[in-house]
Amino acid sequence: MEVDGLYGPAFAIAATVRQNGQEIARFEGRIPDSAVSDGWVRENVLPALGDMEVTHQTSEELEEALWAFYAQECLVEGEGGPSFDGDNIIVIVHCGSPVESGFFRRCVERDESRTFQAPLPLHEVGTLLEALDEESTSVDSYIKKHGIAVQFDGVTHHPMYDSVVAAQVWEHAMARIRGEL
């Protein structure tokens, strides 16, 4: 997810849903570049987006579209309505605060019925890497060190690249912890 500055609204989002190391669903969305005001983001992130299609006109529309995708893929119907199934589904991010945690907060603040629908916990790849004595702020250095072939043709700051790499690093690191590698 890319936002306008660290605490701003989203302007480019991607998510991958994986099962057994394979993608089973994905979401990609973007709003026009004119909505981005942060100079660092304009210089360093917009070029990484390449030909990512503009799919929405506002950040709120884009965030709501991702929420709908998340609800479809990650929420289960229960007695009190839909809720997050943290026993069977994990949501991972790399360095998820303030960006992804801010997204979930904004979505819940827009609709308080979502209070128990946001992921809990929101799993953090950076913390997992720190526990393995790896560089916690760079998934790129981890994939290079361990020879992992990224399953998306892109670069850092492209939200689908970042999503896929975070997922692959999580899967690899968890396999190491379980003694499978």
Tokens of 34: 């004119």
Q: State residue 164's pLDDT score.
A: 98
- Which of the residue ranges 47-51, 68-72, 85-89, 93-97 would you say has the lowest mean pLDDT? 85-89
Strand partners, 19: 22
Q: What is the pLDDT of residue 85?
A: 86
Query: pLDDT by residue (tens digit) across 34-62?
Result: 999 999 999 999 999 998 999 999 999 99
User: How far is it, in rounded angstroms, from Cα 53 to Cα 129?
Assistant: 32
Tens digit of each residue's pLDDT (9 = 90 or more) over 90-135: 999 999 999 999 999 999 999 999 999 999 999 999 999 999 999 9
Cα 27 to Cα 110: distance, rounded to the nearest angstrom = 21
pLDDT value at position 75? Answer: 93
78 pLDDT above the threshold of 90: no
List the domains of the chain with CATH numbers: 2-177 (3.30.420.10)
pLDDT tens track for 129-161: 999 999 999 999 999 999 999 999 999 999 999
pLDDT at 53: 97
Residue range 61-83: mean pLDDT, rounded: 93
Q: Helix, strand or coil for residue 17?
A: strand
Q: What are the DSSP E strand ranges found in the chain?
A: 2-3, 10-19, 22-30, 75-78, 81-84, 91-93, 122-124
Q: What pLDDT shows up at residue 169?
A: 98
Task: Give 11-29 pLDDT, tens digit per residue.
Answer: 999 999 999 999 999 999 9
* Cα dist from 12 to 55, 64, 120, 144, 180, whole Å: 10, 13, 23, 25, 35
pLDDT at 81: 85
Average pLDDT of the chain?
95
Q: Is the pLDDT of residue 175 over 90?
A: yes
